[in-house]
Amino acid sequence: MKPLRILQVQTYLRSERINPRAGGKSRIALMLTKYLLEAGHEIALYSWPERIWGKAAAFAVSPTVSAMVFPTLALPDLRRLPGDVARWLTAKPSGATPDVLFQNICFIQGLRLAVERFRPDLLHCHQTDSDIPILLPRAAKHLPAILTHHSGRSSRRLAGYDRILFLSRSMQEEVCARSGYPAGRSRVLYSPISDPFLSGSVTPARDRTGVVSVGNLKDAKGIDLLLTCYRRSAALRKHPLHLCGRGPDEQKYKTFAAEHDLPVVFHGRLSVPEIKEQLLRARLLVNPSRMEGFSIALCEALACGTPVVGWAAQVEELETLWNRPVGFPFDARKQTAEELEAMVLQALASPLTEDSSRTQLSRLARESFSMERYGGDMIGHYAELLGVG
């Protein structure tokens, strides 16, 4: 297959450059950009919704490969202005302020110029709920568009994409049923994990201690339920809890832990190597989220040989995929802190914590979630969408 020209849409590019700890879709998008560039494809970035004026600039994705970053905003083309305004007014809710309307017209022109100058074969958006489906028809007619649906919630404008890649089969089924997007035009592609998780030895059970949770510190991630479990259970308090991350409810959790003298360590936001170290030390990962897409932290834990208590749909899907248990499925939307407490204690005493099981979990996760596998499959999806070999 000849090299492709791909226009990637991803946010917070400049923040990502100076913050290697950033995770989620931003890190995955940059990992993919690096892989595609090293595979010989041409990549340009349109980092909506960052407000960037000026000229295109080179972005060093790694010491050896660079991508061109196009400004997201440009002054309107007067000849196209009436059509651009009409497009926005009919697509957006009424009552938009004039300054926001002007900004959005500038976004249309910015994307138009990026397309005209780069001449991509396709556009790949990494923003689940974005204005790209509004911008693209005015900026570039008939440019194939693909969306990686990173979120557990569905976008308002999925119909604007020719292909949607979901992070899990459960997400695909739920979002397609809820939104009406044709399931036949969607595919499933499991996200990769960072390279440090794909190598190294698995810490034996005798050298592990405690429970770890990785992610934003907020009730949406179920941390309130986990702390309630520790307050209720003397047996659980024998296993120190390590919380890795920051978030809006962090101070509330610190106050609660102090009031009840709980064995909780707040590590703050950690780098990838630091997260790996915590996962290798822990007996168990517990991420009792109320909503997830496909948790990267859960996949990283499995690659470290650490069984999980977490997002039920993901745990069950992986068990079906690998034909073996990987942990305990928990759905905080329907289950209680009491049920979580019993589940964590059961997990800590289960055969999953034995060395042979940890080794098998690590091997399966490293094979399934490598960047090599993800990038190769992504190129296959591009080729399928474009009808090329």
Report angle CA 217, 206, 305 to the nearest 5 degrees.
Answer: 55
**Whether 204 and 350 share a structural domain:** yes
Side-chain half-sphere of 310: how many Cα atoms within 13 Å?
32
One-letter amino acid at 18 equals I
Same domain as 304, residue 246: yes
What CATH number should be reported for the domain holding residue 142? 3.40.50.2000
Same domain, 50 and 149: yes
DSSP-assigned letters across all residues of 71-90: -S--PPPTTTHHHHHHHHHH
Question: Residues 255, 122: one domain?
Answer: no
Other Cβ atoms within 10 Å of 348 Cβ, number: 20
Which among 389, 300, 286 has a CA at the least distance from the CA of 343?
286
Pair 298, 285: CB distance under 8 Å: yes
Cα–Cα dist 69/10, whole Å: 11
> Residue 100's pLDDT is what?
85
- Classify residue 79 by burial, with Cβ atoms within 10 Å: 0-12, 13-18, 19+: exposed
The pLDDT tens digits for 90-116 are 876 544 566 688 899 999 999 999 999
Quote the number of domains for the chain. 2
**Domain shared by 186 and 218, yes or no:** no
CA distance 49 to 62: 23
Distance (Å) of CA 289 to CA 214, 222, 259, 278, 297? 11, 5, 24, 19, 12
Structural domain boundaries, residue 172: 5-192+370-386
Write down the pLDDT at residue 15: 43
**Residue 17 pLDDT:** 43
Do both 173 and 310 map to the same domain? no
- Are residues 360 and 231 both part of a single domain? yes
Query: Average pLDDT for consecutive 10-residue bins of the chain (389 residues)?
Result: 91 47 67 92 92 90 89 93 86 62 92 96 91 90 92 76 93 90 94 93 96 95 96 96 96 97 96 95 96 88 97 94 96 95 97 96 96 94 90
* Residues 113, 67 share a domain: yes
Question: Could you give the 3-state DSSP secondary structure of residue 356?
Answer: helix
Q: How far is CA 282 from CA 40, 90, 210, 305, in A?
A: 40, 53, 5, 10
Find, among 130, 79, 128, the residue nearest to 107 by Cα: 130
Same domain, 25 and 112: yes
- Range list of H helices, 180-271: 223-232, 250-259
Q: Could you tell me the sign of the dihedral formed by the alpha carbons of 45, 51, 56, 58, in that order?
A: negative
Retrieve residue 238's tokens.
Answer: 């024998």
Residues 164 and 212 in one domain: no
Do residue 29 and residue 41 come from a single domain? yes
Statement to judge: residues 143 and 247 lie in one domain: no
